[in-house]
């Protein structure tokens, strides 16, 4: 379903402040319609395969690794790492690339950031394609830490195993203390347990090799540390901010692709968002979980990207 592997025609490091530098890249048609890809996590980063989502004969795809993530430096950094700063990073990148408006594509935490960015800068967005909606509510964070264990009790037992029984009443705080330790003997096992937990729950059928890869020290450190940092700080969002401010983007067309059996981001978030957004189409994908790479999810996303090409060309989805 993906387009052939492609290399960026331009890339670089954008200096954000005294500490942070952000990796960015563009691929496809230099004069194509701009589309912005927002990765999940927070703390994950863009994989080369993400470029293959976008028709290189039509789109000018822009991908970047958010602060502390992927190829951005310093990896796993928590200082000056907040949602409002990520939004400003996107605007700085847009201005640097000379883009007036773009289609915004994001899944999981990428859907959170996409909504927050679009609500901050609605005039810079022509539409959104979102997957696995995460609204960043306290209930969403609590579900990640506890609720998913009702479906994956074996994986949850392994997740809580590094935390002593007397600290499990506040699992997030217990993990955050370990993840922010300066001692690798403390933070590395915590990072790896956190990443393995998330990866185990991301697909309908967990794959041992994917869990092992995600729990490697290189990938697990920024993912676990930055996710916990954002969770502790309530995603740096006001209560119900993304639903409260939906009126700012109510005029924008959107497609929401949601797995029926998405355990990480259950469908109630997608239903709440679609119910508040008149121009949003909800595509509930049966027999699918959270991962973008599950065949039915990927097929729905590729279809929406094709339909947006028609919208952009003719003014209707």
Catalytic residues: 108, 262, 290
Task: Tell me the chain's radius of gyration from C-alpha atoms.
Answer: 19
Parallel/antiparallel/unpaired status of strands 33-38 and 254-259: unpaired
Taking the C-alpha atoms of residue 108 and residue 39, their distance in angstroms, rounded to an integer, is 8
Cβ 65 vs Cβ 23: under 8 Å: yes
Taking the C-alpha atoms of residue 234 and residue 55, their distance in angstroms, rounded to an integer, is 36
**For residue 73, what are its two tokens?**
């430096």
The residues, ordered by sequence, that sit 6+ positions from 20 with a Cβ below 8 Å of its Cβ are 67, 68, 72, 73, 74, 77, 80, 81
Taking the C-alpha atoms of residue 268 and residue 275, their distance in angstroms, rounded to an integer, is 10
The residues, ordered by sequence, that sit 6+ positions from 13 with a Cβ below 8 Å of its Cβ are 21, 22, 23, 24, 72, 73
């Amino acid at each position: 379903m993906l387009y052939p592997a492609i290399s960026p025609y331009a890339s670089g490091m954008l200096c954000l402040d005294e500490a942070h530098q952000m990796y960015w890249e563009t691929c496809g048609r230099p004069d194509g319609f701009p589309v912005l890809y927002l990765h999940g996590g927070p703390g994950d980063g863009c994989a080369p395969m993400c470029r293959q989502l976008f028709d290189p004969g039509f789109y000018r795809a822009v991908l970047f690794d958010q602060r502390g993530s992927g190829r951005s430096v310093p990896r796993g950094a928590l200082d000056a790492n907040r949602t409002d700063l990520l939004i400003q990073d996107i605007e700085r990148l847009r201005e640097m690339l000379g883009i007036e408006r773009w289609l915004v594509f994001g899944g999981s935490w990428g859907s959170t950031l996409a909504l927050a960015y679009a609500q901050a800068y609605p005039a810079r967005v022509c539409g959104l394609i979102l997957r696995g909606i995460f609204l960043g509510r306290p209930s969403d964070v609590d579900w990640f830490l506890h609720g998913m264990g009702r479906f994956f009790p074996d994986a949850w037992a392994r997740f809580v195993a590094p935390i002593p029984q007397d600290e499990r009443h506040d699992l997030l705080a217990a993990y955050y203390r370990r993840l922010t330790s300066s001692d690798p003997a403390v933070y590395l096992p915590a990072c790896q347990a956190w990443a393995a937990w998330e990866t185990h729950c991301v697909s309908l059928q967990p794959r041992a090799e994917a869990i092992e890869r995600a729990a490697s020290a290189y990938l697990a450190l920024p993912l676990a540390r930055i996710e916990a940092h954002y969770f502790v700080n309530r995603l740096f969002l006001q209560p119900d901010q993304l639903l409260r401010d939906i009126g700012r983007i109510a005029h924008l067309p959107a497609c929401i692709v949601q797995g029926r059996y998405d355990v990480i981001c259950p469908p109630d978030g997608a239903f709440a968002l679609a119910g508040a957004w008149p121009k949003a189409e909800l595509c509930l994908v049966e027999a699918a979980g959270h991962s973008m790479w599950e065949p039915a999810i990927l097929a729905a996303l590729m279809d929406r990207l094709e339909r947006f090409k028609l919208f952009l060309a003719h003014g209707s989805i």
